Structure 1
């Protein structure tokens, strides 16, 4: 299993990284694998949206534990979300887990975030169906073949 995962996270692979820190739980940030570390469960990544400096000119680079890394989840081509559906919303430079609390006009949705207790509005294009990565190439729920 670990060998299979290390292959998914080889140099140049696009991944998502989660942080197990207060204020970041339930969020995922896109990154590119810079290098793998042999004999370790860590990889070195460069984040796409998180910056290392206040001016926003230098991308954050960090060693991260493989437990906190997953491939980029698949996206439905034209998703339509429903009330109470679990979604990820692109907010504050990352994808945050939330629940649809209202379906509004013009492809807009109201989403509640348990982690921050906030409710915000998003366009359809800034949402995706929430998925958990099971491992290998398996997502739950799976991508709808259409």
Structure 2
């Protein structure tokens, strides 16, 4: 990236000398200023792009996915994530204050969208996140605290 900034600063300086100041010598002191500005701008863009797609990606994806769902589905999905990816539908309905029919319909809609799997176990309907949608486990103690605060 610094090589690109250096090449761009030399090109910019050449354009400056060629069209704006023909009497100036070619490598002007402005080339250093151009290099500093372009490298700083490049590093800033790199940092913004990295933070927007890297570190908080799983949380961001989860929030974006949840924002696309309508209300009972969204709250059930987020509650299921808070339970670690598996919980009975009746338990989630009770925690959210939903009646069983509304919770069952929301679970069916989540299954139709491919976000969860429904399985009847011992007379109970258990909702489980599909493995591709599970958030990553925290790697260290600081991430564990942040994970617990978010969920």
TM-score (norm 1): 0.23
Higher relative strand content: 1
Greater share of helix residues, 1 or 2?
2
TM-score w.r.t. length of structure 2: 0.22
Rg comparison, structure with higher value: 2
